[in-house]
């Protein structure tokens, strides 16, 4: 897919859209900046504009208000970033990355079992 890496500020907007679905700019503003005394309306508008230019967010008009939604799913973005990381660090293989996570004891047993089931299904 070749998605660009996005900064944490834009990723925070994407996280909201992935979690909640379609949101207005105001809803995003209220979630990211709950203190009304420190309005960051311009910042949210800038974030949304940048994400739309990059193709991460689309805007639809519904009942007189714009609703923003994520274009790539969380899984698509995560997969793309992992593949990019694997390409840079391990010549394209994710095996060393997974091995490192397992050896560093960073995966809970439930996730290890899930990986085991996924591998069995691929046989």
What CATH number is given to the structural domain containing 51?
Answer: 1.10.10.10
Mean pLDDT, residues 76-105 taken together: 88
Whether residue 123 is predicted with pLDDT greater than 90 in this model: the reply is no
Within this chain, do residues 21 and 59 fall inside the same structural domain, yes or no?
A: yes
Q: Residue 54 is part of which domain span?
A: 8-70
* 12 assigned to some structural domain: yes
% of residues, the chain, pLDDT over 90: 57
Asked if 12 and 63 sit in the same domain, the reply is yes
56 and 85 assigned to the same domain: no
pLDDT the model gives residue 1: 52
Is 88 found in the same domain as 59? Answer: no
Residues 60 and 44 in one domain: yes
Say whether both 48 and 82 belong to one domain.
no
Q: Where is pLDDT greater, at 64 or 14?
A: 14
Contact 29, 45 (CB under 8 A): no
Judgement on whether residues 31 and 66 belong to the same structural domain of the protein: yes
Provide the number of structural domains found in the chain: 2
Which residue among 54, 70, 86 closes a domain?
Answer: 70
With a cut of 80, say whether residue 99 has pLDDT above it. yes
Question: Is 59's pLDDT higher than 80?
Answer: yes
Residues 32-57: what's their mean pLDDT? 91
pLDDT over threshold 90, residue 50: yes
């Amino acid at each position: 897919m070749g998605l660009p890496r996005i900064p944490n500020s834009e990723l925070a907007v994407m996280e909201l859209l992935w979690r909640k679905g379609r949101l207005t700019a105001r809803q995003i503003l209220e979630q990211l900046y709950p203190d009304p005394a420190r309005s960051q309306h311009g910042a949210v508008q800038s974030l949304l504009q940048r994400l739309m230019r990059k193709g991460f967010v689309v805007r639809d008009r519904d009942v007189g208000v714009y609703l923003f939604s994520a274009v790539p799913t969380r899984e698509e973005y995560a997969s793309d970033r992992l593949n990019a990381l694997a390409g840079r660090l391990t010549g394209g293989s994710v095996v060393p990355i997974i091995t490192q996570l397992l050896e560093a004891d960073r995966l809970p047993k439930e996730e290890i079992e899930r990986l085991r089931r996924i591998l069995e299904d691929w046989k």
